[in-house]
């Protein structure tokens, strides 16, 4: 990796995407001239970083299903890094005439592969050139377990039978590091690794917890979706949020899933 002073570092203000991207970069073999497919690229973490480090002799093709995220990334990019291209498309339905890539990356991507995650990963590997590397990151099974245990206990106490069944479905659907490793081994990749790095998410009680940018519009929404009555869901979670000592520290498990396609 180049030692020059980066103009496009990972942003320090993003307390969720950047730590996962840092773990991705620990395992990515990055050098000038590579052709990279970056899926679920969001507004460019780590696509801008990747583009700067591969230089104009390479190419980064970054895709995201969200038109808003792609527009935001393009606005940040302007006319810079012309070998980086952001496109709005579903990573599971990429054009059949798209050439293969030396690297396929996806920061915080695996959560968007559902419901058929194995098939989505297989599709990405088909886009990988022989001898190329796949690196994906995701919050693996066990993330925020301390919170989910409290939620489950309160659901039992309040006899929220239907809500608890839905909640358990959400939890069981989240992939583990071992499951991810199994996908790559089944797809015959080499040098497969699935490594987890803990990440503590700090929060205060009450409103700060309920509207935490890393929890709401994400993990906490899974609980809210278990309730038909959203006002009831709000009361349920507000009661839990009064005493965060029940479940803090909140630990996310950053899983890096990587492997190499056989030549």
**pLDDT tens, residue by residue, 229-259:** 999 999 999 999 999 999 999 999 999 999 9
**Token pair in block for residue 233:** 């869901």
Which value, to the nearest 10 degrees, does the dihedral of the CA atoms of residues 263, 112, 255, 215 take? Answer: 160
Nearest of 117, 123, 48, 57 to residue 92 by alpha carbon? 123
Tokens of 77: 């990019």
**What is the phi-psi region of residue 202: left when phi exceeds 0, alpha when psi lies from -120 to 50, beta otherwise?**
beta
Q: What is the pLDDT of residues 74-98, one digit of tens each?
A: 999 999 999 999 999 998 888 888 8
Mean pLDDT confidence for 100-123: 92
Averaged pLDDT, 92-109:
92
> What integer pLDDT is reported at residue 5 of this predicted model?
58
Nearest-angstrom CA–CA distance, 205 and 229: 23
**Among residues of the chain, what percentage have pLDDT more than 70?**
98
Between 261 and 3, residue with greater pLDDT: 261
Percent of the chain with pLDDT over 90: 83
In this structure, what token pair is assigned to residue 191?
């040098």
Confidence of residue 114 (pLDDT cuts 50, 70, 90): confident
62-76, 186-200, 218-232: which has the minimum mean pLDDT? Answer: 218-232
Asked if the model's pLDDT at residue 55 lies above 90, the reply is yes
Report yes or no on whether pTM surpasses 0.85: yes
Mean pLDDT score, 9-28: 94
Q: How many CB atoms lie under 10 A from the CB of residue 98?
A: 12
**Residue-level pLDDT at 228:** 96
Are 206 and 192 in contact, with CB atoms under 8 Å apart?
A: no
pLDDT band with cut points at 50, 70 and 90 for residue 2: very low
| pLDDT at 3 exceeding the cut of 70 | no
User: What pLDDT is stored for residue 261 in this prediction?
Assistant: 98
What is the chain's mean pLDDT, rounded? 93
Q: Which domains does the chain have, with CATH numbers?
A: 17-140+175-200+251-260 (3.40.50.150), 145-170+204-246 (no CATH)
Least confident of 130-144, 169-183, 207-221: 207-221
């Amino acid at each position: 990796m180049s030692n020059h002073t980066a103009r496009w570092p990972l942003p320090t203000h993003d307390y969720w995407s950047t730590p996962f991207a840092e773990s991705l970069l620990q395992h990515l073999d990055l050098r000038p001239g590579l052709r990279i497919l970056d899926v679920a690229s969001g507004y460019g973490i780590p696509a801008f970083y990747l583009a700067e480090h591969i230089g104009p002799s390479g190419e980064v093709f970054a895709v995201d299903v969200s038109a808003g995220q792609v527009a935001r990334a393009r606005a940040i990019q302007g006319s810079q890094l012309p070998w980086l291209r952001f496109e709005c498309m579903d990573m599971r339905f990429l054009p059949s005439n798209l050439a293969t890539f030396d690297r396929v990356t996806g920061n915080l991507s695996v959560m968007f592969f559902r419901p058929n995650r194995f098939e989505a990963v297989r599709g990405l590997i088909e886009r990988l050139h022989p001898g190329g590397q796949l690196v994906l990151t995701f919050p693996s099974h066990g993330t925020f377990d301390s919170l989910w245990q409290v939620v489950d206990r309160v659901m039992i106490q309040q006899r929220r039978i239907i809500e608890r069944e839905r909640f358990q479905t959400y939890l069981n659907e989240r992939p583990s590091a071992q499951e991810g490793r199994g996908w790559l081994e089944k797809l015959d990749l080499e040098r497969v690794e699935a490594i987890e790095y803990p990440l503590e998410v700090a929060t205060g009680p009450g409103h700060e917890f309920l509207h935490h940018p890393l929890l709401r519009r994400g993990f906490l929404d899974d609980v809210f979706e278990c309730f038909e009555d959203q006002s009831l869901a709000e009361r349920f979670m507000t009661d839990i949020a009064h005493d965060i000592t029940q479940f803090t520290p909140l630990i996310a498990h950053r899983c890096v899933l990587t492997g190499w396609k056989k030549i």
